[in-house]
Structure 1
Amino acid sequence: MGDDGIDYNIVFPEAVVSEKYWHGSKEPVVILLGWAGCKDRHLAKYSSIYTEQGCVTLRYTAPLKTVFISESFGYKELRSTAHKLLEILYDYEVENNPIFFHVFSNGGFMLYRYMVELLQTHTQFSSLCVMGTVVDSAPGNQNVRGALRALQTTLGPNVNVLLLYFLLSLFAVMVVLLRVVLYPMTKYFHKNHYDAMMDHPAMWSQVYLYSRADRVIRHRDVEKMVRALREKGISVESFDFITPAHVSLFRDCPEDYSNRCRTFLSSCMASMEGTSMKKRFSVQH
């Protein structure tokens, strides 16, 4: 926790565990961006995949109002949050460590979009070494029905029925009007997260984990993004878990999910070490 005006959690690994996996090298920093309505205790279960590997983990979930309201109205509140999260790396003096992202659903992907933009354009952050991203159950594109399901799940069963239907109706009208009907015009001053990342994607390695049974994020949206990134020459892997519900991949398939995350992390770190060795070799010769 810090005085940055955002509610985050950062965890450092035990020195013995870090030494076991990284042998005195700077351990990776994994930034986990939760889905809308995600509780930190849920995100902590995912971060344990990485802390057990000797990684530093930084957990954050954007507030509901910024995901469902601010972004829908075109107010880029999440960009300020993205800036603060990247500054935390400097506050804890881990800005020179390898960095990974683990992003959940559209709620996490919206925030990730702004972090990628800052890494691409902001002088202070251009030197950060991002090695890869794991994307879980995202991104979705102009899926009003999925967005309504996500909002209904987030609000929970204890909300008054009349209030629930009023909020869902209001949200549906707002999204259809601003993000579908008027989008051909509004995209010129506020492109949605899907199109923004399609046009200016992160160039580092990525893996997309999803399920065709997901009723919030359409699998074809994820697959379209994967194809587009591959066409741009970006190293992208994907895996369809087939049966789990939205952001339930880890819950339903814990061993397979964990192994895929760890394998991706190790692969990216090995690639970085190989590049460093080549650079040292070329300098010496």
Structure 2
Amino acid sequence: MSDDGLDYNIVFPDALISERHWHETKEPVVILLGWAGCRDKHLTKYSSIYNKQGCVTIRYTAPLKTVFVSEPFGYKELSNTAKKLLEILYDYDVENSPILFHVFSNGGFMLYRYIVELLHSHKQFSTLCIVGAVVDSAPGSGNVRGALRALKATLGPKINIMLRFVLLALFAVTVFLLRVVLYPLTKYIHRNHFDAFRDHPPSWPQLYLYSTADQVICFTDVELMVRALKGKGISVESIDFKTSSHVSHFRDFPEEYSKLCLDFLTCCMKDSEGTRTRKRHLVQR
């Protein structure tokens, strides 16, 4: 459905299923943030993992232009999108439920970065209870080759060859200049998602799912982020699937992937029970 310009989908589970899994506890709300070019039918496969467990799910994928144009040029359109997405929780009266994020690739992580910043600074969202986050195939930092592969895959085979070449060339030059050559200066105006998140991460538990075979997001970037978060005392788990390609871990290892996500959610819910009376996990300053 569309609301305030957002093309999102929300699914409420059957009440009996929720009661069976969560008893007298409020069922969790899982917010899935898709990768660039992701179709809702793809996210539906992931949301079904949680729906079968009695969770409410919200699916949303940021438009391509915000990921590949607005963000590289420093236009913070995703910040407004993040605010609208969090406001959906109030529209459906689920703002008092435990919330888990499931984030895919840099396209989802860029939006997640702004959500975290809002949870840190915006009074309206200070009562939200975030219990954890699953991050799939992200984040990547300054990887021009990977960004090009992501854009090429997103454009698809049907686009005119010359047009594709021009778009890829312009994108490569832009990213290289703004995110590599000029970044020591531009970072004071607009920090990339990787640096901003690493310096001011949330304190809730996080699970990173990645692969050394990923040709879009360099596995060393993910491992660098994991080490940085652990160094700040944050509870972080990471799983290297080794052979699966970008955002394909669930496709290649469906049972293991589903079990990891649900086990992590269960642990996050148990950990949050003792702190449920707090407004939410504090975001580190």
**TM band (smaller chain):** over 0.9
Give the partner amino acid of 1:31.
Answer: I
1:21 and 2:24 equivalent? Answer: no
| RCO comparison, higher one (Cα < 8 Å, 6+) | 2
Residues 12-33 of structure 1 show CA distances to partners (whole Å, capped at 9, x for unaligned) of 0100100001113211000000
The match for 2:219 is 219
RMSD, aligned α-carbons? 1.0
Q: Distance in 1 between matches of 2:227 and 2:124?
A: 31
Q: Which runs of 4+ in 1 moved over 6 A?
A: none
Shift of 1:2: 4.0
The match for 2:61 is 61
- TM-score (ref. length: structure 1): 0.96
Residues 16-53 of structure 1 show CA distances to partners (whole Å, capped at 9, x for unaligned) of 10000111321100000000000000000000000001
Give the partner amino acid of 2:96.
Answer: N
What does 1:58-207 align with in structure 2 at a 5 Å threshold? 58-207=58-207
- Structure 2 residues not aligned, in runs of 5+: 278-285
Residues 148-195 of structure 1 show CA distances to partners (whole Å, capped at 9, x for unaligned) of 000000000111111111110000000011111111111011000000
Identical aligned pairs, as a percentage? 71
1:254 and 2:262 equivalent? Answer: no
Give the partner amino acid of 2:94.
Answer: V
Shift of 1:93: 0.5
Q: Distance in 2 between matches of 1:2 and 1:77?
A: 17
Give the partner amino acid of 1:259.
Answer: K
What does 1:33-72 align with in structure 2 at a 5 Å threshold? 33-72=33-72
- Structure 1 residues not aligned, in runs of 5+: 278-285
Q: Distance in 1 between matches of 2:4 and 2:99?
A: 20
Shift of 1:11: 0.4
Q: Distance in 2 between matches of 1:206 and 1:115?
A: 15
Distance 1:276 1:72, change over 3 A: closer
Q: Distance in 2 between matches of 1:82 and 1:189?
A: 20
- TM-score (ref. length: structure 2): 0.96
Give the partner amino acid of 1:87.
Answer: E
Shift of 1:202: 1.0
Give the partner amino acid of 2:103.
Answer: V
Classify the secondary structure of the residue corresponding to 2:225: helix
Q: Distance in 2 between matches of 1:174 and 1:261?
A: 36
